[in-house]
């Protein structure tokens, strides 16, 4: 009888243990499932005119807010995406407690301090300190992932030590961080724009290696982007004469014949400070201060328009058209030069979403 009671007691204990174990397993499964749900939201820091916003919107995510100190960029951002998104302003002054939750943090943090064409002052410049503001927000909000963009020069400035420091401080936030230099021309945009992209995946979500997207092989033609027909962008009169003088300066003398140039449809002419450079089926890197990109169309020399510059950063045709109708050309060209390429951000974003899902 006593043995029978002991057996019953043991069975009851075993059942209780099994029940407890199953409940714990169920909790872990639920926790794991919720951890790996597809991300739904993003925050757009150092947003510029909203390249990242457009990229992640195309991927089905919702923006919960943005941060931009350039009011001219903010006006274009609102035109493209609507004025109902809150601009939290200078991220260095943001209290992370004032931010809602979001799954992915995106930032094209200031690049002038690391740029080849800049003074390459890095962390010695006030703008180079923005990465520390981003670290503070990442530490506090703990998004599932982040995507940061900067100029290629970040890779080798200070013998690569600046990048190492950035990677170290981001990894200290408990993220696995990968970086890679990608070029816009490899993602359906005929622009020779190399940028370094940093992707961070929160440690508790990191289960296997993250891979950046491979180059997309397609036969994109630049004529699909150089679509403006406005005759105001044709080089005429004094502007045309100035270009002819430029062809005959000491750097270009004897190298080019105007008649031969005019025969080459969609040939891109980069009128640098001294020497002329030619591009076939692609344009040089768009930059904020670069306004001297010309091209041949119908045997005429044309200036690159703001509308075309936006298309060459991956913006929708309708967005580019509306911008051209509402803003000065110089402003659009400057903002396009400072933007991230939508297509590249979209493909990296797709990889992040697939990884987290």
Active site residue 46: no
Write the secondary structure of 53-81 as one string of H (helix), E (strand) and C (coil).
Answer: HHHHHHCCCEEEEEECCCHHHHHHHHHHH
Whether pLDDT at 151 is above 80: yes
Distance CA 283, CA 194 (A): 12
User: Which ranges in the chain belong to alpha helices (H)?
Assistant: 2-35, 51-58, 71-81, 130-141, 161-171, 237-247, 258-262, 306-311, 317-326, 329-338, 342-356
- Arithmetic mean of pLDDT over the chain: 88
If one counts every other C-beta atom within 10 angstroms of the C-beta of residue 98, the result is 8
Per-residue pLDDT at 218: 80
Whether pLDDT at 7 is above 50: no
Distance CA 192, CA 109 (A): 20
The predicted-structure confidence for 285-313, as pLDDT tens digits, reads as follows 999 877 789 999 999 999 999 999 999 99
Per-residue pLDDT at 32: 45
Tokens 């397993």 found at: 25
- For 227-291, give the DSSP string: ----GGGB--HHHHHHHHHHHTSTTTTTT--HHHHHTSTTEEEEE-SSSEEEEESSBPPP-TT--
Per-residue pLDDT at 120: 43
pTM to 2 decimal places? 0.86
Q: Active site residue: 46, 63, 111, 173, which one?
A: 111
Per-residue pLDDT at 292: 81
Give the domains, in start order, of the chain with CATH numbers. 41-215+341-356 (3.40.50.150), 222-337 (no CATH)
Helix axes 329-338, 71-81, angle to 10 degrees: 90
């Amino acid at each position: 009888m006593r043995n029978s009671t002991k057996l019953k007691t043991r069975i009851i204990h075993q059942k209780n243990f099994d029940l407890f174990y199953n409940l714990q397993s169920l909790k872990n499964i639920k926790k794991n499932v919720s951890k790996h749900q597809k991300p739904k939201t993003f925050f757009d820091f150092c947003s510029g005119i909203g390249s990242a916003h457009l990229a992640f919107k195309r991927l089905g995510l919702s923006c919960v807010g943005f941060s931009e100190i350039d009011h001219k960029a903010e006006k274009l951002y609102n035109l493209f995406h609507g004025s109902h998104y809150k601009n939290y302003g200078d991220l260095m002054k943001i209290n992370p407690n004032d931010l809602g939750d979001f799954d992915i943090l995106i930032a094209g943090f200031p690049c002038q301090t690391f740029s080849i064409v800049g003074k390459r002052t890095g962390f010695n410049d006030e703008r180079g300190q923005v990465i520390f503001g981003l670290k503070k927000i990442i530490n506090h909000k703990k998004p599932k992932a982040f995507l940061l963009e900067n100029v290629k020069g970040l890779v080798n400035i200070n013998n690569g030590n600046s990048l190492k420091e950035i990677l170290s401080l981001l990894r200290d936030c408990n993220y696995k961080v990968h970086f890679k230099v990608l070029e816009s021309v490899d993602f359906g945009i005929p622009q020779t724009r190399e940028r370094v992209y940093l992707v961070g995946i929160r440690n508790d979500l990191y289960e296997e290696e993250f891979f950046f997207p491979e180059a997309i092989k397609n036969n994109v033609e630049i004529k699909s982007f150089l679509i403006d027909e406005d005759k105001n962008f044709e080089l005429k009169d004094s502007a045309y004469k100035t270009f002819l003088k430029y062809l005959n300066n000491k750097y270009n003398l004897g190298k080019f014949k105007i008649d031969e140039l005019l025969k080459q449809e969609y040939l891109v002419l980069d009128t640098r400070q001294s020497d002329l450079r030619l591009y076939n089926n692609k344009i040089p890197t768009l930059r904020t201060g670069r306004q001297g990109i010309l091209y041949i169309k119908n045997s005429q020399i044309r200036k690159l328009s703001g509308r075309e510059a936006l298309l060459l950063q991956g913006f929708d045709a309708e967005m580019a058209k509306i911008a051209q109708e509402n803003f000065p050309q110089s402003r659009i060209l400057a903002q396009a030069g400072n933007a991230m390429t939508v297509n590249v951000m979209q493909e990296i974003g797709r990889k992040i979403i697939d990884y987290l899902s």
